[in-house]
Chains A and B, each alone.
Chain A
Amino acid sequence: MPRSARRRAVRKHVLIYAGLAPFLVLAVFPILWMAITAIKQEADLYRMDVVPFWFNLPPTLKNFALLFWRTSYADWIVNTMSVSFWVSVITILTAVPAGYALARLKLPGAENLGIGIFMTYLVPPIILFLPLARVVSELGLQDSWWSLVVVYPTFTIPFCTWLLMGFFKTVPFEIEEAAQVDGCGQLGALLRVVLPVSWPGLVTAVIFSFTLSMQDFLYSLAFISVSDQKPVPLGVATELIRGDVYFWGSLMAGALLVGVPVAIVYNLFLDKFISGITGAAIK
Chain B
Amino acid sequence: MGEVSAGGKGERPAALAIGVPTARVAPRWWRSIAVRRFVFGYSLLTPAVLYVGLLVGVPFLFSLYLALSDASVGAPVARFVGIDNLLAAVESSTFRVALRNSLVFTLGAGIAKSILGTTLAFLLMQRFRGRKVVRALLVMPFTIPIAVSALGWKWMLDSQFSVINWALGRLHLIGAYGTDGWPVWLGQPALALASVMFVNVWRSFPFGAIVLMAGLTSVPPEVIDAAKVDGANFLQRLRQVIVPMIAPILLVGGLFDTVFTLSDISIVYLLTNGGPNGATEILPTLAYRVGIQAGALGRGAAISLFLFPLLLPAMVLLLRNLRRREW
Query: B308 an interface residue at 8 Å Cβ cutoff?
Result: yes
Do residues A12 and B128 form an inter-chain contact, with CB atoms below 8 A?
yes
Do residues B218 and A94 form an inter-chain contact, with CB atoms below 8 A?
no
Q: Of residues A53, A93, A129, A153, which shows the largest number of chain B Cβ atoms within 10 Å of its Cβ?
A: A129
A127 touching B307 in the complex, CB below 8 Å, given contacts A259-B148, A277-B256? yes
Do residues A124 and B148 form an inter-chain contact, with CB atoms below 8 A?
no
Do residues A133 and B292 form an inter-chain contact, with CB atoms below 8 A?
yes
Determine the chain B residues whose CB is within 8 A of the CB of A127 once the complex forms.
60, 63, 263, 304-305, 307-308
Determine the chain A residues whose CB is within 8 A of the CB of B40 once the complex forms.
101, 105, 186-187
Give A137 Cβ to nearest chain B Cβ, in Å: 9
Interface residues as binary, B7-38 with A (CB distance below 8 Å gives 1, 0 otherwise)? 11101100110011000000000000000111
Query: B141 an interface residue at 8 Å Cβ cutoff?
Result: yes
A125 touching B263 in the complex, CB below 8 Å, given contacts A158-B52, A278-B253? yes
Do residues A33 and B152 form an inter-chain contact, with CB atoms below 8 A?
yes
In Å, the complex CA distance between A101 and B43 comes to 9
Give B134 Cβ to nearest chain A Cβ, in Å: 6
Query: B83 an interface residue at 8 Å Cβ cutoff?
Result: no
Do residues A27 and B253 form an inter-chain contact, with CB atoms below 8 A?
no
Determine the chain A residues whose CB is within 8 A of the CB of B210 once the complex forms.
270, 274
In Å, the complex CA distance between A187 and B37 comes to 10
In Å, the complex CA distance between A143 and B140 comes to 32
Do residues A24 and B327 form an inter-chain contact, with CB atoms below 8 A?
no
In Å, the complex CA distance between A233 and B119 comes to 32
A169 touching B304 in the complex, CB below 8 Å, given contacts A24-B134, A237-B270? no
**Interface-lining segment among B92-100, B184-192, B224-232, B314-322:** B314-322
Query: B74 an interface residue at 8 Å Cβ cutoff?
Result: no
Do residues B45 and A281 form an inter-chain contact, with CB atoms below 8 A?
no
A233 touching B145 in the complex, CB below 8 Å, given contacts A98-B48, A126-B284? yes
Determine the chain A residues whose CB is within 8 A of the CB of B215 once the complex forms.
278, 281-282
Query: A214 an interface residue at 8 Å Cβ cutoff?
Result: yes
In Å, the complex CA distance between A234 and B326 comes to 42
Do residues A26 and B287 form an inter-chain contact, with CB atoms below 8 A?
no
Which residue in B143, B269, B284 is a CB contact (below 8 Å) of A270?
B143
Query: A115 an interface residue at 8 Å Cβ cutoff?
Result: yes
Give A240 Cβ to nearest chain B Cβ, in Å: 9
Minimal Cβ-Cβ distance residue in B for A181: B19
In Å, the complex CA distance between A251 and B128 comes to 37
In Å, the complex CA distance between A257 and B252 comes to 33
Minimal Cβ-Cβ distance residue in B for A249: B155
Do residues A117 and B48 form an inter-chain contact, with CB atoms below 8 A?
yes
Determine the chain A residues whose CB is within 8 A of the CB of B4 once the complex forms.
172-173
A107 touching B148 in the complex, CB below 8 Å, given contacts A98-B49, A180-B20, A222-B292? no
Give A196 Cβ to nearest chain B Cβ, in Å: 17
A282 touching B249 in the complex, CB below 8 Å, given contacts A27-B140, A127-B304, A214-B145? yes
Do residues A237 and B147 form an inter-chain contact, with CB atoms below 8 A?
yes
A128 touching B149 in the complex, CB below 8 Å, given contacts A28-B137, A115-B322, A270-B143? no
Query: B262 an interface residue at 8 Å Cβ cutoff?
Result: yes
Query: B89 an interface residue at 8 Å Cβ cutoff?
Result: no
Minimal Cβ-Cβ distance residue in A for B8: A173
In Å, the complex CA distance between A211 and B143 comes to 9
Do residues A267 and B139 form an inter-chain contact, with CB atoms below 8 A?
yes
Do residues A113 and B49 form an inter-chain contact, with CB atoms below 8 A?
yes
Query: B214 an interface residue at 8 Å Cβ cutoff?
Result: yes
In Å, the complex CA distance between A132 and B52 comes to 12
Which residue in B20, B41, B63 is a CB contact (below 8 Å) of A183?
B20
Query: A154 an interface residue at 8 Å Cβ cutoff?
Result: yes
In Å, the complex CA distance between A221 and B270 comes to 11
Which residue in B42, B137, B218 is a CB contact (below 8 Å) of A282?
B218
In Å, the complex CA distance between A27 and B210 comes to 14
Query: A52 an interface residue at 8 Å Cβ cutoff?
Result: yes
Do residues A134 and B297 form an inter-chain contact, with CB atoms below 8 A?
yes
Determine the chain A residues whose CB is within 8 A of the CB of B217 once the complex forms.
282
In Å, the complex CA distance between A137 and B47 comes to 23
Do residues B144 and A101 form an inter-chain contact, with CB atoms below 8 A?
no
Do residues B218 and A33 form an inter-chain contact, with CB atoms below 8 A?
no
Give B127 Cβ to nearest chain A Cβ, in Å: 9
In Å, the complex CA distance between A259 and B149 comes to 8
Q: Which residues A10-30 have CB closer than 8 A to chain B?
A: 12-13, 16-17, 19-20, 23-24, 26-28, 30
Determine the chain B residues whose CB is within 8 A of the CB of A105 once the complex forms.
37-38, 40-41, 44
Do residues B55 and A154 form an inter-chain contact, with CB atoms below 8 A?
yes
Query: A260 an interface residue at 8 Å Cβ cutoff?
Result: yes
Query: A60 an interface residue at 8 Å Cβ cutoff?
Result: no
Give B212 Cβ to nearest chain A Cβ, in Å: 10
List the 9 closest A-B pairs by CB distance, nearest first.
A124-B263, A98-B48, A259-B148, A131-B59, A97-B44, A105-B41, A181-B19, A233-B147, A266-B143
B residues in contact (CB < 8 Å) with A? 1, 4-5, 7-9, 11-12, 15-16, 19-20, 36-38, 40-42, 44-45, 47-49, 51-52, 55-60, 62-63, 66, 116, 119-120, 123-124, 126, 128-129, 134, 136-153, 155-156, 160-161, 163, 166, 177, 202, 206, 210-211, 214-215, 217-218, 248-249, 252-253, 255-256, 259-260, 262-266, 269-270, 283-284, 287-288, 291-292, 297, 300-301, 304-305, 307-308, 311, 314-315, 318-319, 322-323, 325-327
30 contacts between A and B (CB under 8 A): A13-B128, A23-B116, A23-B138, A24-B138, A28-B137, A46-B160, A97-B48, A98-B48, A100-B44, A101-B45, A105-B44, A126-B264, A127-B63, A129-B291, A130-B291, A131-B58, A131-B62, A131-B66, A150-B55, A157-B52, A180-B15, A187-B40, A217-B270, A237-B151, A237-B270, A248-B155, A267-B143, A278-B252, A279-B252, A279-B322
